[in-house]
Amino acid sequence: MNATYLMFVILAFLAVVLVLEGLYHTFFAGRSREARRIRNRLAQLNDTGRQVELRLTREEEQARIGELARWMLGNPIGKRLTLYVHQADAGLHAADMVLISAALLLAGILAAAVTGRPLPFGAAVGLSIGAAPWWFISYRRDKRIKRLEQQFPEALDMVARAMRAGHALSVAIKMCGDELPGPLGPELREMSDEVTLGIPFNDALQGLVDRVPLREVSFLAVVLTVQRETGGNLAELLDKLAKLMRERFKLIGEVRIRSAEGRMSAWILSLLPFGMAAFLMYLNPKSMSLIWTDPSGRMWLFRMLVLMALGILWITRIVRIRA
């Protein structure tokens, strides 16, 4: 049997298996009879039973994620990936993302094999489309972080006002979580539920720091930890932290306005070669086709793409605003 045909059959089988596995974990694992039974039980609980809801929801999640997710939770890199995907709030587990990326990678290699392209070309295409889900996760995570930054000063003000009204810190955090919409409100409610379940306050606070990747949350954790040990006017400290955040956002806005020209130049310099290539392809397709039909053209095209990638990365690092 032809070795190429055998490799094609094996890769096709693995791609189909991974696609089906990813689709199952993404869309159908939460619709099983056991999952519906747990959700029906949770629907019968009122707000006073939220700690039971939290425990049952976690048991359901642990029961459905599968062996790959458990293996990822057992090593540092897998934990980091799991936390990264969780911070995006995309409704997917890191194991689902790994399966989808692997399926797309194999699909790219298969497409190259079917069309007669060389294996390195197929690997490059597979890596590109396999990275697409992680680009989506990164976009969702950045968008969510910006929303968290906008909500956090308001949350600090609400906690400070609740404490001035005579409420305890844990009650103030719960009230803030109930009043605020997502994405910050559910995170504060989860922290309050963990404290209600008996988890130490410092551990629940560390969980909030892990789930909400803002430096202000780390500052808040330090403030609360020190205040619980030494005492002090916590409401005043929260007011100052909220004011500091608003001043920082104001400064970032001014810097973005002053650096708008540089960022626009970066976009133009990055897109101009591709625009010129498309324009020349429209004017003289025969001459441009030599770039990918001639071996020397393909070699220089690869070198050009590598240098352009380095240049775009360099420009991005220059114009990036460090908040």
Residue 55 has pLDDT above 50, yes or no: no
- pLDDT value at position 287? 79
Among 221, 199, 316, 306, which Cα is nearest to 266's? 316
Tell me 166's DSSP state: T
Q: What Rg do the C-alpha atoms of the chain give, in angstroms? A: 26
> What average pLDDT does the segment 48-62 reach?
44
CA atoms within 13 A on the CB side of 279: 6
Q: Is the pLDDT of residue 52 over 60?
A: no
Q: Are 222 and 208 in contact (CB under 8 A)?
A: no
Contact (CB, 8 A) for 149 and 213: no
The pLDDT value recorded for residue 226 is: 82
> For 138-143, what is the mean pLDDT?
88
Confidence of residue 187 (pLDDT cuts 50, 70, 90): confident
The pLDDT of residue 46 is 43
Residue 53 pLDDT more than 50? Answer: no
Question: For 247-298, what is each residue's pLDDT tens digit?
Answer: 888 888 887 787 777 778 878 888 888 888 888 888 888 877 777 778 887 7
Q: Say yes or no to pLDDT of 59 above 50.
A: no
Residue with tokens 């990918």: 292
Note whether 22 and 93 are within 8 A (CB).
Answer: no
Cα→Cα distances 142→87, 101, 135, 187, Å:
9, 20, 11, 17
Amino acid at 136: F
**What pLDDT is attached to residue 45?**
44
pLDDT reading at 89 higher than 60: yes
Q: What integer pLDDT is reported at residue 274 of this predicted model?
A: 83
Q: Which amino acid is at 261?
A: E
Q: Is the dihedral of CA 76, 81, 84, 88 positive or negative?
A: negative
Q: What is the pLDDT of residue 50?
A: 46
Name all contacts of 193-202 with Cβ < 8 Å and 24+ positions apart.
Answer: 193/50, 193/51, 193/54, 194/54, 195/170, 196/50, 196/51, 197/51, 197/54, 197/55, 201/170, 201/228
Contact status, residue 18 vs residue 107, Cβ threshold 8 Å: no
| Residue 18 pLDDT | 62
| Residues 271, 250 contacting (CB under 8 angstroms) | no
CA-CA distance, 199 to 133, in Å (whole number)?
Answer: 34
Q: Cis (ω within 30 of 0) for the bond into 183?
A: yes
Angle at which helices 169-179 and 119-164 pack, to 10 degrees?
120
pLDDT for the residue 296: 82
Query: In the block, which residue shows the tokens 């844990």?
Result: 170
Across residues 240-248, what is the average pLDDT? 86
Task: Determine contact, residues 211/189, Cβ cutoff 8 Å.
Answer: no
- Whole-number Å distance between alpha carbons of 108 and 93: 23
Higher pLDDT, 5 or 147: 147
Task: Check residue 17 and give its pLDDT.
Answer: 63
- Mean pLDDT score, 2-20: 63
In the chain the domains, ranked by start, together with CATH numbers, are 3-143 (no CATH), 144-249 (1.20.81), 259-319 (no CATH)
| Each residue's pLDDT tens digit, 162-182 | 888 888 888 888 888 888 887
